[in-house]
Chain A
Amino acid sequence: MSLLPPDMDEAGFAAFLEELRGTVGADWVWSGEADMFPYRDSFSPVWNTGEERHASAAVAPENVEQVSEVVRIARRHRVPLFPISTGKNFGYGGPSPNVNGSVVLDLKRMNRVIEVNEERAYCLVEPGVSYFDLYREIQERGLKLMLDCPDPGWGSPVGNSLERGVGYTMPHFRDHFGAHCGMEVVLPDGEVMRTGMGALPGSDTWQEYPYGFGPDPAGLFAQGNFGVVTKMGFRLLPLPEYYRSALITVPRRRDFVKLVNHVNYLSDSGLIGEVEYGSPLSALMGNADFMALATRTGGPSDAEMDAAASDAGLHNWQVELQFFGPEKATLENWHYAKDRILSDIPGAASFEGDHFPMPATEEQLNNTTQPWQTSIKRRRSLGVPSLGAWKIVRDDGHVGFFPVLPRTGEAVFEVQRVLGDAMKEFPTLPPFFNALTTPLFWHTHTFQMVFAPSIKHDDPAHNAITHAAMKKCVAVAAEHGWGDYRAAPIYQDDVAGTYSFNNHILRRFHEQLKDAIDPDGIIAPGRGGIWPRRFRA
């Protein structure tokens, strides 16, 4: 039995698909189990269960006129569309929709790099352009620009930034949505809108001033369901002249609080790029006694961790720093960072790492000469797209919960303890939260921590544990004011429900907007926890 869009019969579905074929060509409309299999979320913890979300068909237009026409057809037939750009949203739902029977609007064929401007450091791209494509364009044209890309290079600036995805270079570029500038959107009635300066005919500043005049609706299209984005501009970094890396370690557990404050200062002052926090004590996790201490309910005391570190001749914490800019500036910034931290934290130590002119050579990109066991992933740190990160995927995939928490050492300790204790209910999962768990400094001004349990296609019991643990993490974190930054469709209602200030006014406001412009839910009903009237009924 084929899956149908909501409230539709076989004949209506056939007529709808026929209209789509008439618009984009018969080769670019798919339905049926075989062609729709790749639109399933292969990282789904509800794989092959009744909770899994399936699309009924997919359509791949090649330009904005076709997108507009597809949206108009869907509106006439009241069929929900689920737009994707490159569709690689693994860990957060892959290409699968919120509503069963939705039709995936697959924008992969819209793959033009419309403009890359070297002097003014921006680009304008279509949704199907991957980070690999954009990087290749910059390299082939010999432009002195640097990208900021996520771990996997096969995703897209448009898809990734609409999920508020992250990268690994300088603070304001790591927040990919924050680094966007100007978008073109097909609205639920098929009209084409441009945001910011794009709304002013004849302006040459669409990719330089995001706001234009009046309210800026661009934010509605990130993790939202108010339109189909067909073009997006992004700010790019001028290729830095030089790269430098360094390591600082601090002896005592409490030193982390000061270390974080110093690193925040360096970052907010624009002196450093992404940092990698870690703990040299991770080397002891193979030791059962130490593991028991680091994962103990209620957490270990500072004195116990300091004693363990002292016995092992190790420091409690480390941070790897990265500097970009003219060679002399990177050296001065490193000396400043070192002096600032070492003069304030007794016993702190510093080490100089690899440094070289940019662009890096292939050997430098391979990252095998750092004089310590580094957590820096060199390619992503230098904005070079790769799929090397796929080596971290365990089993058949994973789902991700990344709570947003304050950028302080105390908050990190609290998350370690609270979520570590909460996850004791799931003893078969790895101890993601323990006394050594360090924060991720992805978004410009906040920390996140990682919870990413695996899934197995042939082990529903394992997946059920992962699923239950995800739900519990979302709930317990929210009780402490830590909210998830991004979620797969199966968790979006849970997460949206935690952002509940004043009787869920934020969600109610979104619903009012949705009802006003898309009451039938033509664009991704349910995405971001926003349901139009038709589906709330």
Chain B
Amino acid sequence: MSIRLTLGTLAASTLLLGVAAAREPVRDIERADLPGQQVFARQCAPCHGTGPGDDGSPMLPGTAALAAKYEGALPAALELRSDLSAPVLTLFVRRGSGAMPMFRKAELTDAQIEELAAYLAATAALNTPATD
């Protein structure tokens, strides 16, 4: 059996344009100049950053997972969260959560978690709109 398809039919059925329409705006944020900034950039941002995800995904996987979890009740981007103290971070970093595996002390020390907490608090404060 032979099938004849014009290029037009095929194009209409397999080509998808306008992927960008499904994307959400990505927020630019101001970052606190603290040692935790580099720790965050290297250890957390590849999954929890504010930029877009790969290949048309609106968000990076960790940010997307938190957006789905909190449904707007809390910011999906960790750098906008003011409630992540070192003990709270320690819990998630050392025990993992869902698809996020645990991090070992050999790769992220307790001191670096403290630095992360200070960086996140300062960065969240920098990006909180003034209320007066």
Within the complex, which residue of A95, A377, A388 is in contact with B104, where a contact is CB–CB below 8 Å?
A95
Map CB proximity to A onto B34-65 as digits: 1 under 8 Å, 0 otherwise. Answer: 00000000100011000011111100111010
B15 touches A42 (CB 8 A): no
A444 neighbours in B (Cβ, 8 Å): none
A387 touches B47 (CB 8 A): yes
Task: Tell me whether A72 is interfacial, beta carbon within 8 Å.
Answer: no
Map CB proximity to B onto A335-349 as digits: 1 under 8 Å, 0 otherwise. Answer: 000000000001101
Shortest distance between the CB of B23 and any CB in chain A (Å): 7
Task: Tell me whether A357 is interfacial, beta carbon within 8 Å.
Answer: no
B3 touches A312 (CB 8 A): no
A376 neighbours in B (Cβ, 8 Å): 55
A132 touches B57 (CB 8 A): no
Shortest distance between the CB of B49 and any CB in chain A (Å): 9
B-contacting 9-mer, from A220-228, A364-372, A481-489: A364-372
Task: Tell me whether B69 is interfacial, beta carbon within 8 Å.
Answer: no
Quick one: closest B residue to A366, CB to CB?
B52
Task: Tell me whether A519 is interfacial, beta carbon within 8 Å.
Answer: no
Quick one: closest A residue to B64, CB to CB?
A391
A40 touches B102 (CB 8 A): yes
B60 touches A387 (CB 8 A): yes
B61 touches A390 (CB 8 A): yes
Question: How many inter-chain contacts with C-beta < 8 Å in the A-B complex?
Answer: 143
Task: Tell me whether B107 is interfacial, beta carbon within 8 Å.
Answer: yes
A42 neighbours in B (Cβ, 8 Å): 96, 101-102
Shortest distance between the CB of B75 and any CB in chain A (Å): 19
What number of B residues sit within 8 Å (CB to CB) of A? 43
B-contacting 9-mer, from A171-179, A292-300, A392-400: A392-400
A-contacting 9-mer, from B5-13, B79-87, B114-122: B5-13
A314 neighbours in B (Cβ, 8 Å): 10, 13-14
A249 neighbours in B (Cβ, 8 Å): 10, 14
Within the complex, which residue of B1, B7, B94 is in contact with A349, where a contact is CB–CB below 8 Å?
B7
A109 neighbours in B (Cβ, 8 Å): 106
A132 touches B46 (CB 8 A): yes
B3 touches A38 (CB 8 A): no
B14 touches A280 (CB 8 A): yes
B53 touches A347 (CB 8 A): no
Known interface pairs A372-B14, A388-B61; A310-B56 also in contact (CB < 8 Å)? no
Map CB proximity to A onto B11-30 as digits: 1 under 8 Å, 0 otherwise. Answer: 11111110110010000000
Shortest distance between the CB of B82 and any CB in chain A (Å): 25
Compute how far the CA of A505 lies from the CA of B47 in the bound complex, rounded to whole angstroms: 45
A153 touches B46 (CB 8 A): yes
Within the complex, which residue of B12, B46, B56 is in contact with A387, where a contact is CB–CB below 8 Å?
B46
A533 neighbours in B (Cβ, 8 Å): none
Task: Tell me whether A530 is interfacial, beta carbon within 8 Å.
Answer: no
Compute how far the CA of A395 lies from the CA of B97 in the bound complex, rounded to whole angstroms: 11
B46 touches A60 (CB 8 A): no
Map CB proximity to B onto A289-309 as digits: 1 under 8 Å, 0 otherwise. Answer: 000000000000001001101
Shortest distance between the CB of B17 and any CB in chain A (Å): 7
B1 neighbours in A (Cβ, 8 Å): 252, 303, 306-307, 310
Known interface pairs A368-B23, A391-B57; A349-B5 also in contact (CB < 8 Å)? yes
A315 touches B52 (CB 8 A): no
Compute how far the CA of A351 lies from the CA of B54 in the bound complex, rounded to whole angstroms: 23
Task: Tell me whether A258 is interfacial, beta carbon within 8 Å.
Answer: no
B 91-106 contacts with A by CB, 8 A: 94-96, 98-99, 101-106
Task: Tell me whether A43 is interfacial, beta carbon within 8 Å.
Answer: yes
Quick one: closest A residue to B12, CB to CB?
A313
Given contacts A38-B103, A378-B54, 13 further A-B contacts (CB under 8 A): A30-B105, A38-B102, A42-B102, A60-B105, A108-B107, A314-B13, A315-B10, A351-B11, A368-B23, A373-B19, A374-B55, A391-B54, A393-B99
7 A-B pairs closest in CB distance: A388-B54, A38-B102, A387-B46, A390-B61, A393-B99, A60-B106, A42-B101
**Which residues of A pack against B, CB within 8 Å?**
28, 30, 34-35, 37-40, 42-43, 58, 60, 86-88, 90, 94-95, 106, 108-109, 132, 153-154, 249, 251-252, 280, 283, 303, 306-307, 309-310, 312-315, 318, 346-347, 349, 351, 366-368, 371-374, 376-379, 386-391, 393-397
